[in-house]
Chains A and B, each alone.
Chain A
Amino acid sequence: MALKLGASSYSWQDEYYTGKMSLEDCISNLHSIGGTGFELIPEQMLPENNFMKLSDSFVDQWYSWMDKYQMTPTCCDIFDDYNLYRNRTLTVTEQLELIEHYLKVAQRLGFYCVRVLCRTPIEVLEAALPLGEYYGIKLGLEIHAPLSMHSDWADRWREMVAKSGTKYAGFIPDFGIFSKRPYTVSLAKAIRLGANPQILEYILEEYKKRAKYFSESNERREMLDSGFLDSGAFGMAEVVEEVKRMGGGPLEINVAMSRYSYDNPKWLVENMPLLIHTHAKFYDMQPDGLGGFTDPNIDTETVVKVMRDGGYNGYFSSEYEGHGYARDPGCDYVPDGRDQVRMHHAMIRKAWEEQ
């Protein structure tokens, strides 16, 4: 199996936001570093009203870029703005209409899969399964931290997909579920804003204990309740209590309650037939001291090897999330998504090629 490398438009979000890069610049940059798969957040970079109504001229332009830069459209990211109105939540039918709209956009632009947000209600997911079949586009439910491959939530989707018999549904793991530690960039930002480094050190150690415990145990996690993404499902809620006793406030609590968790990468093997695509989330590429690069935050190298040995046939789609930790006015470091993705790809290539 050959390695397939791509990246998400998310990786160049600040460069685009501030007008330094256009959509074409993102695609050409990815091509220039050897990437062949482009993932798009449609409401992020489709020009003007094209998310609502694709124009023929834009669609022509898109395919001319795909040809020129030898790029494959991989994944189109679906969102679920179910709170569109202030006075009520969208009905299941309305949420399905929204999903169908994204599928039409994805189909016209040639994407073969979509990312379905992990917070999408279970009854909407079930009703969406036939749409994937109809449009011939795979629905990839995102496993986003602190959700786990080993959870009742993931089981529900596995059962639904198996029962339907569809080949157009599976998972997209977000590599935040392989977080080795509270993120370096998150701690650096908290310290700039005045957090207590000793409390952060305590959070770091407690996180590492839980990462080790959860990755080695077969404990199933209950994650079907609606608050699961913010509830410290990774056992960090008790850490927050101690942080408060230590005198910590919102800055430290925010670090303790971040959306990170650690699943054992080996669990990917049993899910291999369902793995459609990846969000190779990362935060902070650094020299590894051996002439290459590594992100100390995410266990990407292990994941890449497990997936390679398991016969994974999809893309590693780099998703750089470091920008968001460098926007506080006191931060003089300006991340460059182009450099970050280049180093991330170099790391993945090296991991893929070595034993």
Chain B
Amino acid sequence: MELRKYVLVEDGFCNVKKDGETIGFQVKMRIPYYRGTPLSLIGDIMVSADGVEYTGNCLLFTFAGETYTMDELTTVTRQYWYYGAPATITVLKPGGLEPGRHRIGAFASMRISYMSKEELTGNYADLTLE
């Protein structure tokens, strides 16, 4: 894992409700690269909360008005993750997180054709859930 500032966006951290029930929490993050790429070039996403790491099926990726599972992202070749533009990651965790301070991390790995390795890259911050 590579630590890189500014990937995690500090606003937008909240619990998510659906039909009156809290189904999880959300964080916002930027692409950890120097240009935008098609979403299919996302290798993996990892969100952590107070040391617990969430990946794969418990994540949803929302960008430009569309929401995808991690598996669906692998075929999204015509929508770019615009450089610097936050995507919303929903972590499906019934009950969400308790109000208060949490140590949050957001990481993504990118499959870049000329790079030798694909490494989860992002950062942590202490954020407050209202």
- Give chain A's interface residues, CB within 8 Å of chain B: 10, 13-14, 16-19, 41, 43-45, 47-49, 51-52, 79-86, 117-119, 229-230, 324, 327-329, 331
Contacts and interface: CB of A to CB of B under 8 A. Distances in A.
Contact of B114 (A48, A51, A229): A229
B84 A43 contact: no
Given A85-B77, A230-B116, A16 B37 contact: no
Given A43-B36, A44-B83, A18 B6 contact: yes
Contacts of B54: none
Contacts of B77: 84-85
Given A19-B84, A44-B83, A83 B35 contact: no
Size category of the binding interface on chain B: 20 to 34
Given A14-B6, A49-B64, 14 more contacts: A18-B6, A18-B84, A44-B83, A47-B82, A48-B85, A52-B78, A80-B114, A81-B113, A83-B41, A85-B40, A85-B74, A229-B114, A230-B116, A329-B123
B35 A79 contact: yes
Secondary structure of the A side of the interface? loop
Contacts of A10: 34
B68 interface: no
21 contacts: A13-B34, A14-B6, A17-B6, A41-B34, A43-B36, A43-B37, A44-B35, A52-B80, A79-B35, A81-B112, A83-B111, A84-B40, A84-B77, A85-B75, A85-B77, A86-B74, A229-B116, A324-B34, A329-B5, A329-B123, A331-B5
Contacts, number: 78
Secondary structure of the B side of the interface? loop
Given A84-B38, A119-B114, A48 B82 contact: yes
Contacts of A48: 64, 82, 85
A17 B123 contact: no
A312 B5 CA distance: 39
Interface in B13-42: 30, 34-38, 40-41
B103 interface: no
Contacts of A117: 114
Contact of B80 (A49, A80, A86, A118): A49
A44 B30 contact: no
